[in-house]
Structure 1
Amino acid sequence: MSINNQLSSTASNSSYPQKSEKYVANRKKYRRYNWMFFLSVFLPIVTVGIFNIVVDPYDVFNTPNFLGINHSKPRKDNNDRLFKATDVIRIKPITVLMGSSKTKQGLDTNYPALKNEQPAYNLGLNAITAYELRRYLEHSIANQQELSLAIIGLDFLMFNSFTKRRGTFAEYRLKKQYISPKDIIHVALSMNGVLASKKTIIDSNKTSLDDIPYEANGFMPVLNPDPDKTKDKFQYGINNYFNDHAKYKLSTPLIELKKIVDLCQKNQVKLIVFISPSHATQWEAIRATGEWSTFEEWKREVVKITPVFDFSGYNSITIEPIHSGMENYRDNFHYTKKVGDLVLNRILSYKEEEVPEDFGILINQENIESHLEKIRQHREVWANNNSNEVKLVEEIKQKYDGALN
């Protein structure tokens, strides 16, 4: 080897340690940068997730509630389709009380008439459709194969073909025995979850334990109503009905109700169906939209599928005059626990002597026509004696129609 080649080889070999050391240093530098990057990205996400899980603004994770921190959850009610689905997974009730917000606010699962049907859960959902009713019953059966009793409150509104399901309804969370990963992400890692947690903490600082409406069994009675706002609530509720259901098309022949009956028979679940006892002004609102004949036809279709206890119409409970000290109703739609107890008494044959004779008539295909005729007669008597409430509904309808023109 020549002297030049030896010098070149020596110089080349001497540069290897320098390059190697530089390479290692750069790798450490990049690794440290990557760790900093990942921590800066994921640490806030993990922190947000832990925060939302601990606060648990929708009561999805069954996190302990601490007075003054997270005991009051104002965003919970509008997410009832979420937290009630997870409650069913956790509680696995053998009795479910189903229906709309009327059921949710009126039927107490701890009522003595249900003492032998525990655990019971109130699965009433805001503005539920007949389709959702069937899907949540399927969810209950999927999580409790020994489900023995389903009590379902029907509403005319559920069977309006023009009614759309609420955006909070999700097929993916039903008929599962675990909380869906999508729901975990939605609650734990979303901005909506953060805002709900923030609202929970703020509200918990100023709300007493006595003012928390939701109970662990899904029951949500209206607490401490403002008596001075009673008439306003009736006006608001009647106007809402016109907004949502002035246009009505009956989903004949009530396919979803037939599926519910078949589902209960297949799974040996005792089914009790009743028509909810809204206030007399609600029936006047139906009349004002020109759908009274449709309302009657709906009942005819129902009894073709199953016998039903009818608490609607103009009876001694539903005709309570609108005033500040009402005991039976909070608005035109929602009845109180007092009325809900009477409903349970009737349908479960418990202390029936306490139930007014005209409240809750079991109807079928044999007596439906005579029953409808009695309601028409009772309506005429009520309207003659309560012209001010008839006028109230008519005036609200006129204002609604005027706003459309």
Structure 2
Amino acid sequence: MATRGPARGFLAAFFGGLLVLFGGVLAVTAGIDPYGLSPLDPDLGSLNSRRMERRQLDRMIKPIEAIERQPKTLLLGTSRVRQGFAAAGFDGTGLAPVYNLGLNFSSLDESTALLETILPYLPSVKTIVFEFNFVHYHLPKGPHGVPVSTADLLHDLATAFLSTDALAASVRTVLQNRNYTGHYYWIHPDGMMVMSPASMLQDIENFYANVVTPFHVFQSGPVQAKILSDLRAICDRYRIDCIFAVLPYLPNDLAYYDETGNFASFVQAKRELLEAGFPVLDMTLFNPVTAEPLSDGMTYWTDVNHFKPLVGGYIADRLAGRENPSIPESFGIWLTEENFAPRMAEWRAGLDAWKAAHPEAVSRIRATLARKASVPPQ
């Protein structure tokens, strides 16, 4: 019995020290708030006005932030959603408040896993808008980094406030804000990413170097049917209105799909969304937004694959049914069984006309495909 006193004293000192240590870490991380999650919402002026430390941590931070903000509408998709939609574009509509849950390289099956985890804690959500991404629809990857259980959410929350990484991020946040020169991108509190300026002409070279590659003709099968069925079941279970938005593509991308034999597969995929019972808003038809000539300083596009928030605002207007005379008539068409065939014929005709008017672009795509097809895979 005599030894129990010192042992208890040691344990009391040990746990007391832990409390002081974690309390100190929490005071710093919650007070500086490097990830924008602190309920204190600290405003340190120029010392923490930009949360640049959260740039690569969306899969950890955004699910927590969405729960914290309790939006009425969630936007889910890839980087095209992440940097193309500002929540303010939905202000004054029945969809607001909106949270941008776009994640780089996200896929529909990852969205399914994420929603299963977070929707029990999001009673505010009445509408979900899913991006339809043609390639990710046919090449699902499954969840890679998003929380797939409540335990994962709690782990991510603890990491955001009680880890040495969070402590280091707090210090870097202050230093980065003090030395900010305009070259960083960061994430707004509504989930939108602010991009650094980029050269469209440089990006078109990246398009040919890395995007244009030979691949097989995609055909939908049981995997795609299950993804849509699972999403449909989630939306029905939580009584949420779920919408698919087929976001705009520049003609170069569509010509690439056509030259690899996948344009008809893209048309079929749109039909599958309708057949699964989802409203489908299609932004891919040819018009001044989608067929803007490539140049540096474009009005509607940041790079070959990403549209500007101006276009995101147009899409918000179409989703909300708000009149905007600046939007071309053929930008944002609600597809139905009745208009599907004529609209897809219009889309096909638009692509044919663009290819005929831009033979140099088509020739370069074909030459790139032929050159890369002749190189054995590494």
TM-score tier, shorter chain, comes to 0.7 to 0.9
Is the CA contact 1:214–1:221 (under 8 Å) kept in the aligned structure 2? yes
Structure 1 residue 232 and structure 2 residue 202: aligned?
yes
TM superposition shift of 1:106: 1.7
Answering whether residue 283 of structure 2 is matched by residue 311 of structure 1, we say yes
Shift of 1:239: 4.6
Distance 1:123 1:36, change over 3 A: closer
Number of the residue aligned with 2:299: 327
CA contact (8 A) 2:113 2:143 kept: no
Q: Corresponding residue for 2:358?
A: 386
Query: CA 1:298–1:354 in 2, change beyond 3 Å: closer, same or farther?
Result: same
- For structure 2, which runs of at least 5 residues remain unmatched after alignment? none
Equivalent AA in structure 1 for residue 320 of structure 2: L
| Corresponding residue number in structure 1 for 2:271 | 300
1:102 aligns with 2:72: no
Structure 2 CA distance for partners of 1:41 and 1:220, relative to 1, 3 Å: closer
Percent of paired sites with the same residue: 20
1:239-280 CA-partner distances (Å, limit 9, x unpaired): 554579778564544322233334334433333322011222
SS of structure 2 residue aligned to 1:274: strand
Query: By how many angstroms is 1:320 displaced?
Result: 1.0
Residue 174 of structure 2: which of 189, 194, 201 is its match?
201
Whether 2:148 is the aligned partner of 1:171: answer yes
Which position in structure 2 is the counterpart of 1:60?
37
The structure richer in helix per residue is 1
Moved more, 387-396 or 296-305: 387-396
Letter in 2 for 1:97: L
Report the TM-score when normalising by structure 1: 0.77
Alpha-carbon spacing, 1:271–1:165, altered in 2? closer, same or farther (3 Å): closer
Q: How does 1:24-173 map to 2 (within 5 A)?
A: 47-48=24-25, 50-62=27-39, 63-111=41-89, 114-138=92-116, 141-161=119-139, 163-165=140-142, 167-173=144-150
The one-letter code of the counterpart of 2:149 is Y
- Structure 2 counterpart of 1:267, from 214, 238, 255: 238
- Number of residue pairs matched? 373
CA spacing shift, 1:393–1:202, aligned 2, 3 Å: farther
Native 8 Å contact 1:104 1:218 kept in 2? yes
Structure 1: gaps (5+ residues): 1-22
* Matches of 1:44 and 1:244, distance apart in 2: 55
| 3-state SS in 1 of match to 2:56 | helix
Instruction: Spell out the pairing of 1:285-296 with structure 2 (5 A cutoff).
Output: 285-296=256-267
How much does 1:206 deviate?
Answer: 2.2
8 Å CA contact 1:98–1:122 kept in 2: the answer is: yes
2:341 to 354, 361, 369: 369
Residues 288 and 266 of structure 1: CA distance in aligned 2, closer, same or farther (over 3 Å): same
1:160 Cα shift?
2.3
2:110/2:144 contact within 8 Å kept: no
Q: Does 1:255 align with 2:226?
A: yes
- What's 2:156 paired with? 183
Give how far 1:291 is off: 2.7
Asked if the contact 1:140–1:147 (Cα under 8 Å) also holds between the matched residues in 2, the reply is no
Contact 1:72 1:212 in 2 (8 A): no
- Match of residue 279 from structure 1: 250
Alpha carbons of 1:32 and 1:360: their partners in 2 closer, same or farther (altered >3 Å)? closer
What displacement does 1:329 show? Answer: 1.0
Q: Over alpha carbons, which structure has the higher Rg?
A: 1
Q: Are the structure 2 counterparts of residues 217 and 246 from structure 1 closer, same or farther at C-alpha, using a change threshold of 3 Å?
A: farther
The alpha-carbon deviation at position 355 of structure 1 amounts to 2.0
CA RMSD of aligned residues (A): 3.7
SS at match of 2:201: helix
Aligned to 1:340: 312
Cα 1:248–1:148, aligned 2, differ >3 Å: closer, same or farther? same
Shift of the 180–260 alpha-carbon distance from structure 1 to 2, 3 Å rule, reads closer
In the aligned structure 2, how far is the partner of 1:238 from the partner of 1:262? 39
Does the C-alpha gap of structure 1 residues 200 and 168 become closer, same or farther in structure 2, counting only changes over 3 Å? farther
